[in-house]
């Protein structure tokens, strides 16, 4: 095959790879997970709902009633201890926020609860290890394990949505703020829990003032990352974008095509020089 023919053939292969890659990426199956808008609607619908009197186990396997936290504002977050990135990050962020709130309002004015929803894996022992790993030992913060029989009802009441994925769980990143009567008055979203997002509503609760109206759902979706899945730093999203993979394959094929063309040209010229 002469060099001109080789060049045309390799050029066609490279062009085909660059064309097919994005198309295959568009058609490639995407991982199943939560619908962000629907999960957010369910979470917001829980605002105003009074949470039932569920009994969970603390880190020492002692029964703890959620109703026992009434009388003070309560912050509730749902986690799973098998998460190695987002749940730890969110919990550490909440820890910093809680310390700031204690400095502002005192450590006896509110309580905090983290609930492990992945049962039976999030046992009292697992929750104890999780708290110890992240150095959380505040007297007003409990890490609780519900029985597997009540997980669905409990998460439904909080408007907390989650779904199993090959990498763990896709779930809403939310901290629920409950008033002294056990009603959800605010849902705060994101993997970074800013002090002002909880400080102002906490101040209003403690003062008995009305809370501000809810944000529009579209504003929340546009401004805040609310779901926890595997984070992809290349895309800045929590879902795998297969188009990037196929485009990378196409680019690699193009580079290889150019490399083999140059190698073939070098060999042809070398043979011609030898023949002379």
Check residue 214 and give its pLDDT: 56
Q: How far apart are CA 44 and CA 25, in angstroms?
A: 34
- How many Cα atoms sit within 13 Å of 91 on the Cβ side? 26
Check residue 185 and give its pLDDT: 94
Check residue 157 and give its pLDDT: 97
Pair 63, 146: CB distance under 8 Å: no
**For every one of its 276 residues, what pLDDT tens digit does the chain have, with 9 covering 90 and above?**
444 454 455 444 544 444 444 444 444 444 456 788 899 999 999 999 999 999 999 999 999 999 999 999 999 999 999 988 888 989 999 999 999 999 999 989 999 999 999 999 999 999 999 999 999 999 999 999 999 999 999 999 999 999 988 878 889 899 999 999 999 999 999 888 888 888 888 998 988 876 655 554 544 444 444 445 444 434 444 443 333 344 445 556 766 777 777 788 878 787 777 776
Q: What are phi and psi of 211, to 5 degrees?
A: -80, 155
The pTM for the full model equals: 0.68
Token pair for 18: 């660059």
Q: Count Cβ atoms below 10 Å from residue 189 Cβ, excluding itself.
A: 21
Q: How far apart are CA 41 and CA 79, in angstroms?
A: 20
- Determine whether 78 is exposed, middle or buried from the number of CB atoms within 10 Å of its CB (0-12, 13-18, 19+): buried
Check residue 239 and give its pLDDT: 41
Q: How far apart are CA 185 and CA 198, in angstroms?
A: 11
- Would you say domain 36-228 falls under CATH 3.40.190.10? no
Pair 146, 119: CB distance under 8 Å: yes
Alpha-carbon Rg for the chain, nearest whole angstrom, is 27
Q: What are phi and psi of 176, to 5 degrees?
A: -95, 130
Pair 42, 226: CB distance under 8 Å: no
Beta-bridge partner residues of 165: 168
Sign of CA dihedral 91, 93, 94, 96: positive
Check residue 126 and give its pLDDT: 97
Prior bond to 120 cis, omega within 30? Answer: yes
Pair 169, 160: CB distance under 8 Å: no
Q: How far apart are CA 39 and CA 189, in angstroms?
A: 12
Alpha helices in the chain, H assignment, sequence order? 3-27, 36-45, 86-105, 124-133, 151-158, 195-207, 217-223, 242-275
Q: Whose structure tokens read 């009603």?
A: 183
């Amino acid at each position: 095959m002469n060099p001109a023919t080789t060049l045309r053939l390799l050029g066609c292969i490279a062009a085909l790879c660059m064309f097919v890659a994005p198309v295959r990426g568009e058609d490639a199956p995407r991982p199943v997970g939560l619908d962000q808008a629907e999960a957010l609607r369910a979470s917001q619908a829980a605002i105003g709902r009074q949470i039932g009197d569920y009994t969970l186990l603390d880190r020492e396997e002692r029964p703890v009633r959620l109703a026992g936290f009434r009388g003070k504002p309560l912050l509730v977050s749902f986690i799973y201890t098998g998460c190695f990135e987002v749940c730890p990050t969110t919990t550490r962020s909440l820890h910093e926020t809680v310390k700031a709130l204690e400095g502002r309002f005192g450590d006896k004015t509110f309580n905090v609860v983290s609930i492990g929803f992945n049962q039976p894996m999030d046992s009292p022992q697992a929750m104890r290890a999780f708290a110890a790993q992240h150095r959380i030992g505040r007297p007003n913060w409990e890490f609780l394990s519900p029985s597997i029989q009540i997980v669905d009802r409990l998460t439904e009441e909080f408007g907390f949505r989650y779904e199993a994925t090959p990498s763990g769980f896709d779930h809403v990143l939310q901290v629920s703020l409950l008033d002294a009567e056990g009603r959800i008055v605010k849902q705060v979203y994101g993997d970074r829990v800013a002090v002002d997002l909880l400080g102002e509503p906490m101040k209003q609760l403690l003062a008995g003032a009305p809370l501000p109206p809810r944000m529009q759902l579209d504003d929340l979706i546009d401004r805040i990352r609310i779901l926890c899945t595997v984070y992809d730093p290349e895309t800045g999203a929590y879902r795998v974008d297969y188009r990037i993979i196929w485009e990378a394959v196409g680019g690699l094929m193009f580079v290889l095509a150019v490399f083999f063309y140059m190698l073939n040209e070098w060999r042809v010229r070398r043979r011609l020089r030898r023949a002379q």
